[in-house]
Amino acid sequence: MEEYPKTLTEFESWFLTEEACREYLARLRWSGGFRCPRCGHDKAWTANKTLYECSRCGRQVSVTTGTIFQGTHKPLRQWFLAIWLVTSQKPGVSALGLQASLGLGSYRTAWVWLHKLRRAMVRPGRDRLSGRIEVDETYFGGRSEGHEGRRRGKKTLIVIAAQEDGRKIGRIRMQRVPNASAKSLEAFIRAAVEPGSVIHTDGWYGYVGLKALGYVHESTPQNRLDIPGAEEDLLPRVHRVASLLKRWVMGTHQGGVSHEHLDYYLDEFTFRFNRRTSRHRGKLFYRLMQQAVNVAPTKYSDLVKDVRGKRHNRK
Which residue ranges make up the site for Zn ion (CB under 5 A)?
36, 38-39, 41, 54, 56-57, 59
DSSP per position, 236-295: HHHHHHHHHHHHHHHHTSTT---GGGHHHHHHHHHHHHTTTT-S-THHHHHHHHHHHTTS
Residue number with CB closer to Zn ion (16 or 57): 57
Residue number with CB closer to Zn ion (59 or 246): 59
> Least Å distance between CB 42 and Zn ion?
9
Residue number with CB closer to Zn ion (59 or 283): 59
> Least Å distance between CB 124 and Zn ion?
22
- CB-CB contact of 130 with 193 (8 Å): yes
Please report, for residues 67, 191, 248, the alpha-carbon distance to residue 173 in angstroms, rounded to integers and kept in the order given: 25, 10, 16
Residue number with CB closer to Zn ion (39 or 230): 39
Alpha carbon distance 139, 146 (integer Å): 9
H-only helix segments in 93-181? 95-102, 107-119
> Least Å distance between CB 37 and Zn ion?
8
> Least Å distance between CB 57 and Zn ion?
3
Alpha carbon distance 285, 21 (integer Å): 13
Residue number with CB closer to Zn ion (60 or 179): 60
Nearest to 163 by CA among 173, 149, 178: 173
Q: Which amino acid is at 194?
A: E
> Least Å distance between CB 59 and Zn ion?
5
Residue number with CB closer to Zn ion (38 or 147): 38
Indicate the DSSP class of residue 29: H
> Least Å distance between CB 289 and Zn ion?
25
Please report, for residues 164, 185, 200, 218, 239, the alpha-carbon distance to residue 131 in angstroms, rounded to integers and kept in the order given: 7, 18, 11, 13, 18
Residue number with CB closer to Zn ion (36 or 98): 36
Alpha carbon distance 249, 256 (integer Å): 8
> Least Å distance between CB 30 and Zn ion?
14
In degrees to the nearest 10, what's the CA dihedral of 223, 227, 228, 231? -50
